[in-house]
A and B are shown apart, each in its own frame.
Chain A
Amino acid sequence: MNTQDQHGRGRTGPRPRRARLLAAAGAAALLLASGLAAPAASAAQQAGNTQQGQEQAQGQGQGHGGKVLTVAVAQSVDSLSPFLAVRLLSTSVSRLMYEYLTNYDPKDAHAIPGLATKWESSPDKLTWTYTIRSDSKWSDGQQVTAEDAAWTFNKMMTDPGAATANGSFVGNFAKVTAPSPAQLVIRLKKPQATMTALDVPIVPKHVWEKVQDFSKFNNDKSFPIVGNGPFVLTDYKPDSYVKLKANKDFWRGAPKFDELVFRYYKDQDAAVAALRKGEVSFVAGSPSLTPAQAASLKGDKDIHVNEGPGRRFYALATNPGAQAKDGTKFGDGDPSLLDERVRHALFMAVDRGTIVDKVFQGHAVQGQGYIPPRFSSYYWQPSAGQDLAYDPAKAGQLLDQAGYRKNADGKRVGKDGKPLNYRVLCHATDPNDKAVGKYLQEWWGKIGVGVSLDCLDNVTDPWLAGKYDLAFDGWSVNPDPDFVLSIHTCAARPQTPKDTGATDNFICDKTYDDLYARQLAEYDPAKRADLVKQMESRLYDLGYMNVMAYPNAVEAYRTDQIKSITTMPSAAGNIYGQDGYWSWWSAVPADSDGSSGGGTSTGVVIGIVAGVVVLGGLAVLFAVRRRSTAEDRE
């Protein structure tokens, strides 16, 4: 230690100060860069986004000078090929790039013309004829014809690589032909009521027939990508952004914004902060903004929080004893759950009101039937006698009746003497699952039923293997409910335990299946809706799918950048992930009155001040340093 003290001695005045100064300068060197960068970048940003006047934009060297709508998304693109893309972002982008045969009306989601102007089915219900519009052109100038559509469907029917994403739509197709450029004929194997809801992007044959391997082609090598939707994709950088340009020749009319950019934020907080700063015009959330974020954004002057009925239901699925179509039983679902009274008791001990109030903090609607109220024609509510309202006391009675009585410790035990304890499968990435799971533990604990939460990043494996008792479940419902109904049919189960079926949680019920077959062959909308409601009623009674809530879509956008935007349903609906391209196609840029930008100028001032301070510090430091080294030169 002594030697070290030696070195400490004999130091003169200016040295320590210099050390600290230099340290401070080192740490602040970054601030310098930022101070210089901040003003330039935010100014450019502002100009690019809101078009505060052409002159400003030119001042910043912005060549294109268009109105840009920037959307913050939390997903990255899996593929730009519509044959491979399955993520919501990618399919939304597909929808903007390529026109589908039909579209959905923004008011009530009924089918309206898209690429097809009209359609009709033959009396035997097996042949559908679509008339293809003549006023749609590919962005390379070629005419869109029925041949393009026929080629797209045929490719999906013959090449497994092309059937990756949307193969299910053509599963029931027997033959697709294009007798004339304006006529597309689809021949079905069996009647199918969903023929006006074929969500398949039609691609240009003359471009795509050159593709060799559809399972590997990602459509992201040469830009712009030839399409005929309201926007043309012009640039893409993985994990950064997708850039689209307005298609001025779009048959329905050109979009109002000149450019649409989907920018990727891994972190939803970062996306919200970016909105607050004006870096982006719109935040969708994944899947929606949190209550805290919505509450804090509501206080902002230039931000509008848009809340619409969601298209998802949030449910608790019960394992009905997984079984394959060949009759093999598999999985390890708790046998006590096969008793309908137990299932009803469990659901009656779930306080849906509290879930909506506390977990969703009001940004959801209490769950009842299977299909969310947003789709009014199919929405169903249980009758007074059927309703499994929150009633823990009654739940306890039901369990008593079913033979599961409380023991001395207050735990319910079955005839085998083992206490009831259910494994609940939850998505580790979904905060709602974890939150509701905590409530379930306490609610069910009070009626004597144990819960162990099994939270995984990837729940697919135990799920498909039937290795769970209950599971958090949720689906996004399409305007045509066929798909979400089909996943509870016996036919959706896997052929053998080794296969993967389309089934959600292995439900197989004859009554339900009969109703399903009838609705699929029913081409009259009102009659079909009635059948669908009967199916929902049956599903409710079975107690295998207990819908707890319909989460709202909570999104936010800057009113100083977007003046108006179409929601779907247009009365009060959502914006991101619509059935159609209405929101981005219809968005109107805000007036360029140049009122905003106060934050920016403060930023500029502070940035400059910081820069000057740091530069000054460096200068002083440098001077001191020069002087001291000069002394040293020997």
Chain B
Amino acid sequence: MTSAETTEAAEPTGAAGADGADGAAPGPGPRALSWQRRRASAARFWRAFRTHRAGVVGLAALVLFALVALTAPLTVGSDVASVTAAPGQPLQSPSGHFPLGTDQFGRDLLGLVIWGSRVSLLVGLLAAVLSVAIGAVIGITAGHFRGWYATVLMRVTDWFLVMPTLVLAIALATVLSRSLGTVVLAIGVTTWPTTARLVRAQTLAVESRPYIERAKALGGGHWHIMSRHVLPNVMPLVLAQTTLIISSAILAEATLAFLGLGDPTVVSWGGLLQDAREAGAVSSGDWWYLVPPGIAIAVVALAFTLCGRAVESVLNPRLGVSR
């Protein structure tokens, strides 16, 4: 299947954990040994990653955004979102006092963009984790259990794959109540099939290896094989996939918020854009209300994409996509 090559390529880094899996091989300090191997492969991974300049730049941007988001309670504080305590007049253009101007309530936009990063990043992360988790579980089980179970699962996956993602997400967000959970769910539930297919292919490849036979012969159950042998092998793939999906999840969050399907009571980048549009900022030429949240979305999405591509290319050097 598609990722047959990925499997092979991932061997130096990803397969490290599998051979050292401790459950089936009793001996002196198997756990310590496996940790050692994992550390070594992580170091190898980092050395390879470092050579991808775009990936490093992306990572740096992400670290920066993460810092900004995490320190937001200290730097701007939740008061920045208060409407009754808004410091400025509505829609003031950028000035020394408000570097990015003010919004329709007179709130400081710089503060709001910083504060909004928390929700946007959180939703992006959660949605991606949910999506990849669903995808990984379905992919691994469909790869492990053959027969009708796998057939049904893959049918469902194929079916989800042809669903127009945005349409489905809009429908889901409309069906459920307006909240962050809804947005996370809508994105997660509609984007997992990609991961499921990739993971399943990887699982099939891993399970065809001799040591799985050995593990089975030694009495390893389904759970043991999936969690101790397959999972560590698909983890690198899952990580790369997560990074890429976060990028689209952040875009999806902004899209849903822009269509008015987000939670109106929290501040997020997509929500700021929606507010700006509803306030008529586009036709009034109030660019400062519109430009910063959009740039923030684009930069974070780009950073995750760059990182994801670098990770992928480390795991699968044949592609050389990002170089």
Q: A residues within 8 Å of B by Cβ? A: 1, 4, 267-273, 276, 289-293, 295-296, 354, 358, 361, 426, 428-429, 431, 434-435, 437-439, 441-443, 453-457
Shortest distance in angstroms between A280's beta carbon and chain B's nearest beta carbon?
12
CB contacts (< 8 Å) of A441 on chain B: these are 265
Shortest distance in angstroms between A82's beta carbon and chain B's nearest beta carbon?
31
Given known A428-B260, A435-B83, A439-B84, contact A291–B90 (CB-CB < 8 A): yes
A1 touches which of B83, B282, B323 (Cβ 8 Å): B323
CB contacts (< 8 Å) of B320 on chain A: these are 1, 4
Q: Which 6 A-B pairs have the closest CB atoms?
A: A290-B280, A272-B283, A296-B284, A269-B282, A293-B280, A269-B283
B278 at the A interface (CB under 8 A): yes
Q: B residues within 8 Å of A by Cβ? A: 82-86, 90-91, 104-106, 174, 177-178, 260-261, 264-265, 275, 277-286, 317, 320, 323
The residue of chain A having its C-beta at the shortest distance from the C-beta of B263 within the complex is A455
Task: Tell me the bound Cα distance from A289 to B278 in angstroms.
Answer: 10
Task: Tell me the bound Cα distance from A269 to B285 in angstroms.
Answer: 10
The residue of chain A having its C-beta at the shortest distance from the C-beta of B276 within the complex is A292
A428 touches which of B106, B264, B285 (Cβ 8 Å): B264
A296 in contact with B285 (CB, 8 Å)? yes
Task: Tell me the bound Cα distance from A271 to B277 in angstroms.
Answer: 13
Chain A facing B: main interface SS: helix
Task: Tell me the bound Cα distance from A269 to B283 in angstroms.
Answer: 5
B83 in contact with A296 (CB, 8 Å)? no
Question: Can you show 19 pairs from A to B with CB atoms below 8 A apart?
Answer: A4-B320, A267-B277, A268-B283, A269-B277, A269-B283, A272-B280, A272-B284, A273-B282, A293-B284, A295-B284, A296-B283, A296-B284, A361-B90, A431-B278, A431-B279, A435-B83, A438-B265, A439-B83, A454-B177
Given known A4-B320, A428-B178, A435-B105, contact A293–B283 (CB-CB < 8 A): yes
CB contacts (< 8 Å) of B178 on chain A: these are 428, 454-456
Shortest distance in angstroms between A100's beta carbon and chain B's nearest beta carbon?
34
Shortest distance in angstroms between B323's beta carbon and chain A's nearest beta carbon?
7
Shortest distance in angstroms between B186's beta carbon and chain A's nearest beta carbon?
14
Task: Tell me the bound Cα distance from A4 to B323 in angstroms.
Answer: 11
Given known A358-B90, A437-B264, A457-B174, contact A276–B106 (CB-CB < 8 A): no
A443 in contact with B84 (CB, 8 Å)? yes
Q: Which of B84, B90, B260, B261 has the most CB of A within 10 A?
A: B84
Shortest distance in angstroms between A548's beta carbon and chain B's nearest beta carbon?
15
Chain B facing A: main interface SS: loop
Known contacts A292-B91, A293-B284, A435-B83, then 17 further A-B pairs from the complex at CB < 8 Å, ordered by chain A residue:
A269-B280, A272-B280, A276-B283, A291-B91, A291-B280, A296-B283, A358-B86, A358-B90, A428-B261, A435-B104, A435-B105, A437-B264, A438-B265, A442-B82, A442-B83, A442-B85, A455-B264
B84 touches which of A267, A289, A442 (Cβ 8 Å): A442
B264 touches which of A4, A296, A361, A434 (Cβ 8 Å): A434
Shortest distance in angstroms between A450's beta carbon and chain B's nearest beta carbon?
12
Task: Tell me the bound Cα distance from A268 to B277 in angstroms.
Answer: 9
CB contacts (< 8 Å) of A292 on chain B: these are 90-91, 104, 279-281, 284, 286
Q: Which of B85, B177, B279 has the most CB of A within 10 A?
A: B279
B280 touches which of A268, A428, A455 (Cβ 8 Å): A268
B265 in contact with A437 (CB, 8 Å)? yes
B83 in contact with A358 (CB, 8 Å)? yes
CB contacts (< 8 Å) of B323 on chain A: these are 1
Shortest distance in angstroms between B8's beta carbon and chain A's nearest beta carbon?
17
CB contacts (< 8 Å) of B85 on chain A: these are 442
Q: Which of B104, B277, B317 has the most CB of A within 10 A?
A: B104
CB contacts (< 8 Å) of A354 on chain B: these are 84
Task: Tell me the bound Cα distance from A467 to B317 in angstroms.
Answer: 58
CB contacts (< 8 Å) of B104 on chain A: these are 291-292, 435
Shortest distance in angstroms between B136's beta carbon and chain A's nearest beta carbon?
31
CB contacts (< 8 Å) of A361 on chain B: these are 90
Task: Tell me the bound Cα distance from A275 to B213 in angstroms.
Answer: 73
